[in-house]
Amino acid sequence: MFEKLTLLPLSNFIRNKSIQNFLFLAIIQSSNVLISIISMPLLIQSIGVDQFGLVNLALSVIILLNILVGFGYNLSAPRQVAVNQQNKEALSHLVSNVFSGKAMLAAIATLLILIGVFGLNLFQEYQLILVFSSLLLFSEATLPLWFFQGMEKMKLVSIANIFSKLLFLMGIVLFIHSPEQSQWVNFMLGFFGLSINLMLLFYIHAFMGIKFYRPEFSAIYRSLKENILLFFSNLASHISINGGLIILSFFSAAETLGMYSLAERVVMVLRLFPALIIQAIFPNASKLLKEDRPAFFRFLKNVYLRVLLAGMLISAGAHFTAPWIIRVLSRSDLAESVLYLKILAAVPFLACLNVGNVTLLLVADLKELLFKASWMMCLYMIVVSAILTSYLGGLGLCIGIISTEIIVFLICLTLLYRHKKDLVRGFYT
């Protein structure tokens, strides 16, 4: 494998559309993580720890509602764009309807927040922060990442994302100086994101020849109906991946939560790798499956082998450098957190095992099977992790998270084999 890689000209390697997609998606995610790390001490110093916690709590609510705003379009739309890359008229209708549908969902999500705050008096400690944070919903609705991903032209949107985050960082330095200004933190993040997204939409219209039509409500309704299983799949995956800390909070003290949270944050960043791979190869894989099945299977096998190798190296690196990682992040030696990280370091590699299965489910548009797999994984994770955590605390939760990655691979493989034997045989044989 290494000999084959060295024989590839570097220019051809970089020009590969899937590799470009992965690199630019990685740039987007890494810049988001980096800006988050840089902004944390600035915000804590400006608004205090208490308000910083409330700002993050409001952001957590928005992230959950963003799953509603996305409504599976981030998975289905890139495939439709990729298939219609050369058809400007079809792309124009698709773009108009997707943005209109997401804008309507953002308005509904905002209405839910307003009803919760002013009608039901919920979120009492951070009501004003949450209301101002609702602008992030429209930033998500207008984000054209899915369009550029399907067109396999990720450079511009990755640069725009970095620019919006730098503007946000500058806004913190210039305008956030006291706890009373905490409601403007998430508002600025949404404002700069929305502004840059609108500029990208202008670029799509003016320079890429995409027209914006009035929303076709029948087409929007049809797409929402088609995406409902993807929406619930995303919701289940979000709970499965991010619900561990909530489960641990029922059984452990705050100190254990802090120790586990530190290790989990590191692992969740590393776990982005297989997700980025799937997003990067998705458009090209969709076209190949439609045009040339043997070429599709060759392409996916080559990607899969390299992903497994990279995942193995990532997991091994995280395991052996766990003490150093924890020491750098916490500026102290936290033995319990190191133990959690060493165990959870297996998660990136185990998640890589399922890259082939998930790609097959997505490119073949098997939303029902993806829905079943996601909720079976979610139920398994909640039940098993809760039982193990009640007996073993943080260690039990780590075991539950690792076993979930193994189980979801087996679930996806079984469902695919039962319903699409030709895909399984073509990929695995």
Question: What are the pLDDT digits (tens) for 343-356?
Answer: 999 999 999 999 99
Higher-confidence residue: 259 or 116? 116
The answer as to whether 357 is a domain residue is yes
Helical segments of 321-393, H only: 322-330, 335-344, 347-352, 355-363, 367-392
Structure tokens at 273: 């790798």
Q: Report CA dihedral (161, 356, 73, 247) to the nearest 10 degrees.
A: -80
The answer as to whether 232 is a domain residue is no
Q: 416 with 424: CB under 8 angstroms?
A: yes
- In which band, very low, low, confident or very high, does the pLDDT at 245 lie, cut at 50, 70 and 90? low
**145 Cβ contact list (under 8 Å, min separation 6):** 28, 74, 157
The answer as to whether 3 is a domain residue is no
Please state, in angstroms and rounded to a whole number, the distance separating the CA atoms of residues 172 and 42: 8
Amino acid at 42: L
259 shares its domain with 383 = yes
Q: What is the pLDDT of residues 93-132, one digit of tens each?
A: 999 999 999 999 999 999 999 999 999 988 887 889 999 9
185 shares its domain with 254 = no
Q: What is the pLDDT of residues 309-342, one digit of tens each?
A: 999 999 999 999 999 988 876 667 778 889 999 9
Please state, in angstroms and rounded to a whole number, the distance separating the CA atoms of residues 7 and 163: 36
183 shares its domain with 214 = yes
**239 Cβ contact list (under 8 Å, min separation 6):** 378, 381, 382
Owning domain of residue 410: 243-428
Q: What is the pLDDT of residues 380-401, one digit of tens each?
A: 999 999 999 998 888 999 999 9
137 shares its domain with 209 = yes
189 shares its domain with 319 = no
**310 Cβ contact list (under 8 Å, min separation 6):** 273, 352
Please state, in angstroms and rounded to a whole number, the distance separating the CA atoms of residues 271 and 355: 12
State the total domains in the chain: 2
The answer as to whether 8 is a domain residue is no
The answer as to whether 1 is a domain residue is no
Backbone angles phi, psi at 120, to 5 degrees: -110, -5
Structure tokens at 93: 């209708």
196 shares its domain with 325 = no
The answer as to whether 27 is a domain residue is yes
176 shares its domain with 305 = no
List, in sequence order, every beta strand (DSSP E) within 98-220: none
220 shares its domain with 291 = no
The answer as to whether 4 is a domain residue is no
Please state, in angstroms and rounded to a whole number, the distance separating the CA atoms of residues 351 and 355: 7
Backbone angles phi, psi at 366, to 5 degrees: -95, 65
282 shares its domain with 400 = yes
| DSSP string computed for 63-103 | HHHHHHHHTTHHHHHHHHHHHTTT-HHHHHHHHHHHHHHHH
- In which band, very low, low, confident or very high, does the pLDDT at 1 lie, cut at 50, 70 and 90? very low
Q: Is the pLDDT of residue 377 over 70?
A: yes
Q: Is the pLDDT of residue 28 over 70?
A: yes
106 shares its domain with 186 = yes
The answer as to whether 2 is a domain residue is no
81 shares its domain with 206 = yes
191 shares its domain with 74 = yes
Structure tokens at 256: 């254990």
